[in-house]
Amino acid sequence: MSAAIRITGLTKTYAQHHALDNVDLVVDEGSIFGFLGPNGAGKTTLLRVLTGLARPTSGVVQILGHNVTAVDDSIRARIGFLPDVPGFYDWMTAEEFLRFVGRLFAIDRRTLDERVHMLLDLAGLTDVKTTIGGFSRGMKQRLGVAQALINAPQLLLLDEPTSALDPMGRRDVLDMLTSLRGRTTVFFSTHILADVERVCDTVAILDHGRVVAQGPIDELTSRYAERKVILEVTDAAGQLGQDIAREPWAASVAVGPTGVIEITVSDMDAARRTIPVLVADRHTGLCRMEAGEMGLEDVFVSLVGGGTK
C-alpha cells in the first residue's frame, strides 16, 4: 500500500521550543487516520507544515509522493483542508459558498453542479435555504467538511473537526468522514479519544511534539496490553489507591465502588515489584492481581499521562 503522507525526522522549532520533535509518520492511502494529542502537543503545527503554511525546521515531509516544500498547484488541487477555525461568508447560502469555493479551483460548470448537489446531500444541507450567518456550529462544520471536498481531493486534512461540537454534531461530522472510507485518505487531529475509536483505523499519539505511538488501533491496544493492572484487596482499597497513585510508574489509578483498583502503569516491572509491598504495608489481604484489558484510552493515559491521577 502506498503512503498518502510520509514524514521522516520532522522538527519544527519556534525560538528555542520544539513544537515538533523528530516526528516519523506514515499514513497509508485510503485510511482514516486519527492524530491524537493533548493541548499543545503540536497537532496544529503538524497540519500547518502539511498544508505548507509553516516550513519544517528540518526533516522530510512528503504528501502524495511529493516533498511539501516543492508542492505546486497541481498537488494542492488534490488536497482538501479544514482548519480548526474555518472562515465563511455569512451572507451566502451553503450552495453559494460551495460554488464560490469550487470556482476558486476552476472546476467546470457541469462538474461543479454535480459536486455541489452531492456535497449538500452529504452534509445534510440540501433543504437549508437560510444564509450561513444563521447556521448552528454543527451545520457550519458540516459545510466546512463539504467545502474541503469540493475539489474531490485524494487526501483530506482536518484540524480538530469535532472539538467545538455537541455529541450530535460530532456524530454527524464523523459520519461524513466515515462515508469517505476507501475513497479519500482522511487525516484529522483531535484530543477526543472516543472520536478516534469510532472512525479511525489507524492512530498516532503525539505528546510534547513527539510521536509516542502509532499503528492500527487494535495493534496498539494489544501492544500495550501489559500496561494495566487490576487489583482487588479485602479492605482499605481507597488508601491503597492513594499509595499507588504516588508511585512514579502509576499513570492513573481508579478505585471502583466495589473496591477493585484499576491501575494504568508506565513500567509493569516496577509495578509488579512494588504493588505487593504496598499491599503488605497496608496490612490488607490480596484477593486478585492481574493484567487488565486495554482500550485506546488506557494506552493514551499510560503514554501521555492525562491528569487522571
Stretch that binds ligand ATP, among 32-40, 74-82, 97-105, 280-288 (CB under 6 A): 32-40
* 42 is an interface residue for ligand ATP by CB under 6 A: yes
- For the record, the C-alpha cell of 191 comes out as 484530543
CB of 18 or CB of 66, closer to ligand ATP? 18
Q: Exactly one of 19, 165, 203, 296 binds ligand ATP (CB under 6 A); which one?
A: 19
CB of 2 or CB of 39, closer to ligand ATP? 39
Task: Report in angstroms how near the CB of residue 4 gets to ligand ATP at its nearest.
Answer: 21
Q: Exactly one of 25, 26, 43, 196 binds ligand ATP (CB under 6 A); which one?
A: 43
Say if residues 291 and 248 touch (Cβ distance below 8 Å): no
Task: Report in angstroms how near the CB of residue 50 gets to ligand ATP at its nearest.
Answer: 12
The contact mask relative to ligand ATP for 185-224 (x = CB under 6 A, - = no) is ------x---------------------------------
Stretch that binds ligand ATP, among 34-42, 97-105, 165-173, 264-272 (CB under 6 A): 34-42
* 229 is an interface residue for ligand ATP by CB under 6 A: no
Q: What is the side-by-side order of every strand in the sheet holding 202-207?
A: 79-82, 155-159, 185-190, 32-36, 202-207, 210-216
Stretch that binds ligand ATP, among 13-21, 23-31, 93-101, 229-237 (CB under 6 A): 13-21
Number of residues that bind ligand ATP (CB under 6 A): 12
Burial 215-229 (b: 16+ CB within 10 A, else e): eebeebbeebeebbb
* 228 is an interface residue for ligand ATP by CB under 6 A: no
CB of 45 or CB of 154, closer to ligand ATP? 45
Q: Are strands 286-291 and 3-14 parallel, antiparallel or unpaired?
A: unpaired
* 56 is an interface residue for ligand ATP by CB under 6 A: no
Closest CA to 153 of 82, 250, 84: 82
Quote helix, strand, coil % in the chain, to nearest 5: 40, 30, 35
What distance lies between CA 264 and its chain's CA centroid?
21
- Distance, CA of 60 to CA of 37 (rounded, Å): 22
- Is the C-alpha dihedral spanning 290, 293, 299, 305 positive or negative? negative
Helix 137-148 to helix 94-104 angle, to the nearest 10 degrees? 30
- For the record, the C-alpha cell of 223 comes out as 501492544
* 258 is an interface residue for ligand ATP by CB under 6 A: no
- Distance, CA of 229 to CA of 249 (rounded, Å): 12
CB of 92 or CB of 212, closer to ligand ATP? 212
* 34 is an interface residue for ligand ATP by CB under 6 A: no
Q: Which residues contact 207 (CB under 8 A, 6 or more apart)?
A: 37, 38, 41, 303, 304
Task: Report in angstroms how near the CB of residue 175 gets to ligand ATP at its nearest.
Answer: 23
* 41 is an interface residue for ligand ATP by CB under 6 A: yes
Stretch that binds ligand ATP, among 33-41, 73-81, 194-202, 277-285 (CB under 6 A): 33-41
* 45 is an interface residue for ligand ATP by CB under 6 A: yes
Instruction: Please give the residue ranges that form the binding site for ligand ATP (CB under 6 A).
Output: 14, 17, 19, 37, 39-45, 191
